[in-house]
Structure 1
């Protein structure tokens, strides 16, 4: 079985005149990151690999989760494939994942993550919220075979407040 866990970056700030990749998280994004990561960590799911978009807001959200999960920072990777807003690059990335990894956690953006969650999962999600987490399970042995799976978990900040 393969498990893909999508986490959309936390609420970001538009208050700075910076490139899109450099936009920081708002305080709410940081707080929601702690809230969702704590809830997720309580599920005690073994993560084999973590990947993040290079965007500041995604990386910061990822760092909050890595600390909460006690996942070694040296074992996570940044990839431009997750700096995607349609979902096409994310889907290609997932299908090329190393089959040694059974459970993968990725950090990225909308509309990509909503599109991926809806095309690969069996539950319709109107929009993956900022800091929203969606877990998808697939009854396959390799990532290249991933098509339709089961949406087994969603954790959205609004549901924890």
Structure 2
């Protein structure tokens, strides 16, 4: 049975300046710096996604734009309005649309829904700060059955602050 890799990631740190609507908030400087670090770590760990599904909010789109150059080949992205401020059920619905030949997918979204979804899948309470990525696996023939079985394994958590510290320590 194939192993499926799910990367559940909260958008990078966003700005509250400018009086924009929540949906239109851009990344701030810290978010723009963190997103490529997370992508580089995913690539280094062998977790490059084959497909990306993201909320259509500006901050999730910008997060992916800052990440994509780290992946070769660059995976296609699907912008899904239903993932804006959504949770577990919307994640399951979006994942069910993935082609079954796709074995690894990155889902970019928002809290509190992503934190609740990650906690439910991992079987433990997880906090998802901005830019965090939770790496989960499951043995499943299809994406749809992957969520009905409920046997996800938490493999790792990528925290941008830890990567930023590593990057600072090197230079």
Same fold (TM over 0.5): yes
Is structure 2 residue 165 aligned with structure 1 residue 159?
Answer: no
Q: Where does structure 2 lack aligned partners over 5 or more consecutive residues?
A: 166-171
Is structure 2 residue 12 aligned with structure 1 residue 31?
Answer: no
How far the C-alpha of 1:82 sits from its partner, in A, is 1.6
Aligned length: 159
User: Given the two structures, how large is their TM-score scaled by the length of structure 1?
Assistant: 0.89
Equivalence for 2:130:
130
Higher alpha-carbon Rg = 2
Instruction: Report SS of the residue matched to 1:101.
Output: coil
8 Å CA contact 1:37–1:68 kept in 2: the answer is yes
8 Å CA contact 2:10–2:109 kept in 1: the answer is yes
Instruction: Report SS of the residue matched to 1:135.
Output: strand
Is structure 2 residue 78 aligned with structure 1 residue 77?
Answer: yes
Task: Using the TM superposition, name which of 14-23 and 94-103 deviates more.
Answer: 94-103
TM superposition outliers: structure 1 runs of 4+ over 6 Å: none
Pairwise CA RMSD:
1.7
Equivalence for 1:65:
67
Q: Where does structure 1 lack aligned partners over 5 or more consecutive residues?
A: none
Instruction: Report SS of the residue matched to 1:59.
Output: helix
Q: How does 1:45-60 map to 2 (within 5 A)?
A: 45-60=47-62
CA deviations on 1:89-130 (whole Å, 9 max, x unpaired) are 1222223432121111111111111111111124431x1110
How far the C-alpha of 1:54 sits from its partner, in A, is 0.5
- Distance in 2 (alpha carbons) for counterparts of 1:152 and 1:95: 22
Instruction: Report SS of the residue matched to 1:136.
Output: strand
8 Å CA contact 1:90–1:112 kept in 2: the answer is no
